[in-house]
Structure formats: C-alpha cells, structure tokens
Structure 1
Amino acid sequence: MSMAHDGLWSIGELAVHAGVTVKTIRFYSDRGLLPEASRSAGGHRRYGPDALERLRLIRSLRTLDVPVPEVRRILAEQDERGADEERGGTGGALEDAVAVRLRALGSELRALRWREAALRLVHECPPGERADRLRLIGSLTVPPSTAPLARFWRGWLPPRMPARSVGAFLEVAVPHLPDEPDPAQVLAFARLHALVTRPCSVGERPQPAAHRAARAGGAAVLYAGLAEAYELAGTQMRRGRQPGAGEALDGFVAAYADAYGTRDTPAFRRVLAGELAADPRLDGYWELAAVVTTAPGRPPEPTPGAAHDWLLAALRGQTAAGA
C-alpha cells in the first residue's frame, strides 16, 4: 500500500503497515505519543512517514512494560536529540526506564519464587499439618519482609546503644533471605516471623542481664567484642573443634570484662558463666535463622547464637574444671 499524493497515510493505512489496530493508534495519538501530521478535509487523521518508526518504538517499549509516562519521556528526549543514528536516537530516559523495569521484574520474580516454594510447602506436607502451615504463611508478605525481625532485636538490644553498633549487630542477627528459597526455608522463616511477633509472656524478661553494663558506653564495647569472639569461634566450629580454651574464649570474656570495667579473673569467669547460663535463651531463633540462610545440601554456617553457645560451653567447662 502506497502513500497518498501528499506523502501521508490515513490512520487505517498506518495501522496496516504497523500491524496494529486503528484503536491502538488512536490511543497513542490521543495521549500525545504519536502526533498526527495533519487532518484531511473530512477531519480524518493523517500521519507522516516517520510515524511508522515512532509507532514501532512505542510498541517495543510497551511490550517491555514501560509505563506510558516513561514512554512519553523517552520520545520527548528522542525528539530533542534528533534522529542521530550514531547516538542511537535514545539516551538517559531509555536507560533509566529499562533499569527501573529490571529492578521491578527482579522483585516480581523473587515474589513468584517465594510463592512457588510456599505452595510446594503446603502441597507436599501431610494433610494434618496443612492448616498450621497455611496459618504461618498467611502472616507473611510475599516476598517476605525482615522488618519485624529488626524491630524485635531493636527492642532486645540495650537502650541508647549507638546507631552504628545497632546497625552492625542487625547485619548479622537478621538473616538475608534467599532469592530462590526451598519449602524448608519458607517454613523456617514463617516460624521465625511468628516467634518475633508473638506477644511477650507475663514475666518474660525482654533483655538479658548481660546488657546491664556497668559503665557508660559499655553496650557498644560489649557487642563489638562479642562480634570478634563469635567470628573466632565460628572458625573453630567450621573445623569441627569442640568448645575449649583459646583466643575465642579469651576474647569472649574480655568483651564482658571491658563492658563492665573490670578485670578478667577466674572469679569473674565463674560469675559470668552463671549469669549467662541464667539469661533468656534464643536458641530457637538462631536455629531457624540458620535454616533460612543455608542453601539446600550445604552445612549450616555458624550463627552468632551457635557461636555464643559454643563459647558459653567452653566457659562453663573451664570454670567447672577450675572449681
């Protein structure tokens, strides 16, 4: 089909060349994305030869799910730059729009993978467990948020603890969620979420006694020292070493001694072992967190909770031997 003598196409002719409907062209024209060149004597839209390439670009962008306002920005930038083929005809607006869609698509894919794993969790479990698993899953968003876990720890940590210290602790205490979880990881995170969002029991202590550091700034000193001790203990645990004396245990005790402004003595170690043994336990949290962060088929990485238990066992063994 050729153009009219004036070099312009009717809306129907443009639709045939572009392989779209007249309704589609009218939609883009009415929104200012595809300007018409003129109107016929009867008031019908007429389009120039550049309309076909512009329409193809619009269709390509919409196929990539780029929103209409972003398409308008891309076209406006293209009009400003001109048809310079060497520069590609598009610029920053296109790059920004594509980057936004890639991020959005990544989030959508992550949500779908979590939803798939949750469906498999319900589908594969015994019928008697389905109601409980549905209840756990129903309390989550998809993909899930770790904000409730961070709020839990902020309430657990000592008040007036420096923001930098809080951030460093949350980085290791709040598990990083996998992009492609398996059903076991979904179940572990759902149980973890239920654990941190349940109401506190009457008389339950919200914080361990070890948080009551004697001197100003003791909390920051304590948690900085514990982080180093946990890392050293984790190295021993990966090697299969049993709890015992060494650099990790000395650093663990030194963290508490520095926080309290006292010396590391056999008497202090005995008192510390008893105090830590009496503190509230969060073993369930760390066990679930280890499942969430461990890829299927791989051994779990030592969590701060597991390292704490290893060091406490070492301390109790040492003080018992000394007694």
Structure 2
Amino acid sequence: MNDRDDLLTIGQLADRTGMPVRTIRFWSDAGVIPPTGRSAGGYRLYDAEAAVRLDLVRTLRDLGLDLATVRKVLARQCTVAEVAREHVRALDTQIRSLQLRRAVLRSVTRRESTNEEMILMNRMARLSARERQRMIDDFVDRTFDGTDAQAPGAHIATLMRGLPADPPDDPTPEQAEAWLELADLVADPDFQESARRMAVAGSAPENASGPQPFDFAAVLEHAGSAVAAGVAPGSAEARAVVDRIVDPALPAGDRRRAADETETFTDRRVERYWQLMGVLNGNAPFTPVAHVFEWFIAALRASAH
C-alpha cells in the first residue's frame, strides 16, 4: 500500500476496531502494533494489516498472554499452538489452586475456624504439590531413619509417603480439612515419637520372629463386641472375653508382654494418619479399631493379675 491516503490515523484505527486510542498507543509503543509511517505532522499512520494484527493482539491478551509472549508470536519466534499449550498448563495450575482455596473457604465457613486455623489452611492451600510431599517425606525420613529397610513391615515407609501428587481437581471441604489436620499431625513431636517407636520396634529382629499369642481378627470380633456392650476391661466378663482371644493357660508374664508389644503398635493418632491419607487419596473410609485394641490391652493386663 503506497497511497498514504489509504493509511489510518490512530483515531480511525480505533473507530474501525473498537479499541481505545490509549490502548492502541500503548501497544504501539510496546512494539506489537508498529505504525506504518508518519503524517506530515508527525502523527502515526497504520495500514489495513494493522487492524488484523490488532485483533490478534487483543485475542491473545484476552487469553491472558503477556506482551512479551505476544511479541514472540507476532515475530513467529513461537507458534500460537505452542503458546496455547503452555498457557493451558498454567491455567490448569491456577484452577487447581483456586479450587483448593475455595474448598478452604467452604471449610472455614462450615467449621467456623479460628484465625489461626484459617491462616494455616490458607498456607497449606498455597503450598505446591512438591512442597506438600516434602513435608510428608521429611516426616517419614525422620520416623524410619536407621531402621532396617529389609525388615518385615518396612514397606510401611513407602505407604506413609502416599500423599497424592496433586490435590483433587475439585477438593471437598473434608479434603481441605484433612490437609490442615495432617500438617498439624506430622508436626506434633508426640506423634513423631510414637510413629518412630513403631518403626523401630517393627524392624527389630525379635519382633520379626515368633507368632503372636492372639489373632487380630479375634480381637476385632470379641473385644469389639465387648467395647460395644460397654464391658469394663477389668471385669470378670472381660477376663472371659480375653480367654476367647488368647489361650486361657497363657502365663501372666506372657500376657503382660503381649499387652506391651500391642500397645507399641496401637495409637489413635497413627490410625488417624491413615484416615487422613485415605481422605486425600479419595479412598473409601475404614472403621477405626485402635480403641478396640486399647480395650484389649487393658483387659489383657488386668487378666495377668
């Protein structure tokens, strides 16, 4: 186009495209809509291609691309498809973050959380998946440090790292609350020590040999029924329950030893850890049983007197 009469002033370009003059001027100064030339008075002039280019810039900006990326597209340093793929990934990350924050806010309204809880929940929501996983990995590393990786039960370390790589696409308030509770739990020194005792005891050779004097299923069946019926662990009725679980002839010392060993591996907080991991991984909930074993431990000790 050589006829300067066919060129458009910035005002005419604004009228043709519906874009504000100040926006066109800004983009022109940024180099994405360069003028074709200048009028005798020094005013910018644009050709018809500038209107097409302006529409593309507006579309790319509406999609959230920054001006540096727009310049690359216009200069053919990258394709629109390449930019779109990267932008989709970035948007997916933003969407997941917003969904998690929405779940946090829902949980705050439902729980009527304190300011401290809300701050912690928001902090958890802002953590990346890698940072959340590191939090769990650090806890597991401390718990299992120095234990025998070949010992029976050593696979528990792998299971305890089982945080989902990413939060669910649309986390529920329960999952947001699980993040909060899990963060508190793994930072609790008492919980860390209890989990550590389990790990050390589980890797000890003496605990890998010799059968247990009772069957876990029997504990759940008989002790579970006693708990449901409100039987006191120190009662004669409880003694009869214990004798259905262990050999009635089992010596008092063996009963106390079995109670001590069972207590080492019985902790409601550890059970809660698995429950929270299940919530975050979307697993079906399981029935808590730690309270049943607590009753059995107390009844087993009482039967040793």
Task: Identify whether the pair has TM-score above 0.5, normalized to the shorter chain.
Answer: yes
Q: What is the distance in 2 between the residues matched to 1:45 and 1:171?
A: 66
Match in the other structure for 1:209: 200
Deviation at 1:138, TM superposition (A): 4.6
In the alignment, the residues of structure 1 paired with residue 184 and residue 278 of structure 2 have an alpha-carbon distance, to the nearest angstrom, of 16
How many residues get paired? 233
2:186 matches 1:196: yes
Tell me: CA distance 1:170–1:22, structure 2 relative to 1, closer, same or farther (3 Å). farther
Q: Alpha carbons of 1:170 and 1:64: their partners in 2 closer, same or farther (altered >3 Å)?
A: farther
Residue aligning to 1:300 = 285
Q: Does 1:284 align with 2:272?
A: yes
Structure-1 residue corresponding to 2:26: 27
Counterpart for residue 241 of structure 2: none
Is 1:140 paired with 2:133?
no
The answer for the alignment partner of 1:158 in structure 2 is 145
Aligned to 1:17: 16
Shift of 1:9: 0.8
Contact 1:153-1:170 at 8 Å conserved across structures: no
* 1:117-157 Cα deviation digits (max 9, x unpaired): 222212223x5x64574365254233664231122112223
**SS of equivalent to 1:116:** helix
Query: 3-state DSSP class of the match of 1:110?
Result: helix
Larger of the two Rg values belongs to structure = 2
**Which residue is equivalent to 1:76?**
75
Distance 1:161 1:57, change over 3 A: farther
Q: Percent identity?
A: 30
Say which SS state the counterpart of residue 58 (structure 1) adopts. Answer: helix
**1:11–1:46 contact (8 Å) kept in structure 2:** yes
1:289/1:171 Cα in 2 relative to 1: closer, same or farther (>3 Å)? closer
- Residue 50 (structure 1) shift: 0.8
Matches within 5 A, 1:111-122: 111-122=97-108
Structure 2 gap ranges (5+): 209-215, 219-256, 294-305
Give runs of aligned pairs for residues 243-254 of structure 1, distance below 5 A: 243=217
Aligned mates of 2:29, 2:115 — CA distance in 1: 52
Q: Distance in 1 between matches of 2:168 and 2:193?
A: 36
Change (3 A) 1:139 1:9: closer
| CA positional deviation for 1:159 | 4.6
**Structure 1: gaps spanning 5 or more residues:** 79-91, 215-221, 223-241, 245-270, 313-323
Whether the 8 Å CA contact 1:114–1:143 is kept in 2: the answer is no
Matches within 5 A, 1:124-135: 124-125=110-111, 127=112, 130=114, 133-134=117-118
- 2-structure distance, mates of 1:33, 1:110: 32
In the other structure, the counterpart of 2:234 is: none
Q: Aligned partners of 1:202, 1:24: CA distance in 2, in Å?
A: 58
C-alpha RMSD of matched pairs (Å): 3.9
Does 2:150 match 1:169? Answer: no
2:40 maps to 41
Check the 8 A contact 2:7/2:47 in 1, yes or no: yes
CA contact (8 A) 2:124 2:180 kept: yes
**In 2 relative to 1, CA 55–99 (structure 1 residues): closer, same or farther, beyond 3 Å?**
same
Q: Distance in 2 between matches of 1:39 and 1:94?
A: 31
Cα distance change, pair 184–174 in 1 and its aligned pair in 2 (3 A):
same
- The CA deviation string for residues 286-317 of structure 1, in whole angstroms up to 9 with x for no partner, is 1111122227xxx3389xxx9xx9xx9xxxxx
Between the aligned partners of 1:53 and 1:202, the Cα distance in structure 2 is: 63
Distance 1:205 1:98, change over 3 A: closer
| CA separation of 1:97 and 1:159: change in aligned 2, threshold 3 A | farther
Matches within 5 A, 1:221-300: 243=217, 278-279=264-265, 281=267, 282-294=270-282, 299-300=284-285
SS at match of 2:5: coil
8 Å contact 2:107–2:177 — kept in the other structure?
yes
Question: Would the aligned equivalents of 1:133 and 1:187 in 2 still touch at CA under 8 Å?
Answer: no
- TM-score under structure 2 normalisation? 0.62
Distance 1:32 1:212, change over 3 A: same
